[in-house]
């Protein structure tokens, strides 16, 4: 029994630093993953903010068109419909730009 105990004590003594090193390594890996995730999240947030800003700019332009210039939206829509009717009367079918394959 003494022989086995004499063998186990050095093994146990060596395993403690190994576990500590392995634990520290795992902690560093976890920190790196968190950092990468945070960087990716910040990148996505910046992309979303940019996209939102572009949309807000477009909405502001549309608001200016409607309010500042006094356009009558219903009249414009009817004018577009009239343009479509003229195109249809001229023999230009709408939505059939591509030729069908035979």
Instruction: Please report whether residue 96 resides in a domain.
Output: no
d(CA 92, CA 84): 9
- Write out pLDDT tens, residues 50-96: 999 999 999 988 888 777 655 677 777 778 887 766 555 555 555 55
d(CA 29, CA 18): 17
Instruction: Please report whether residue 15 resides in a domain.
Output: yes
Instruction: Please report whether residue 95 resides in a domain.
Output: no
Distances (CA, A) of 20 to 8, 23, 31: 19, 5, 17
Instruction: Please report whether residue 65 resides in a domain.
Output: yes
Instruction: Please report whether residue 100 resides in a domain.
Output: no
Instruction: Please report whether residue 101 resides in a domain.
Output: no
Average pLDDT, integer, range 33-39: 88
pLDDT at position 8 over 50? yes
Instruction: Please report whether residue 102 resides in a domain.
Output: no
Instruction: Please report whether residue 33 resides in a domain.
Output: yes
What pLDDT was estimated at residue 55? 94
Domains in the chain: how many in total?
1
* Global pTM exceeds 0.95: no
């Amino acid at each position: 029994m003494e022989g086995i105990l004499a063998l186990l004590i050095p093994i146990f003594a060596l395993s403690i630093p190994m576990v500590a090193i392995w634990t520290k390594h795992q902690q560093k890996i976890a920190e790196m993953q968190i950092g990468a995730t945070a960087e990716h999240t910040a990148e996505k947030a910046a992309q979303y903010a940019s996209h939102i800003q572009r949309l807000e700019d477009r909405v502001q332009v549309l608001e200016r068109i409607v309010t500042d210039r006094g356009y009558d939206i219903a009249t414009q829509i009817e004018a577009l419909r009239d343009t479509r009717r003229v195109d249809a009367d001229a023999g230009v079918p709408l939505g059939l730009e591509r030729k069908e394959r035979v």
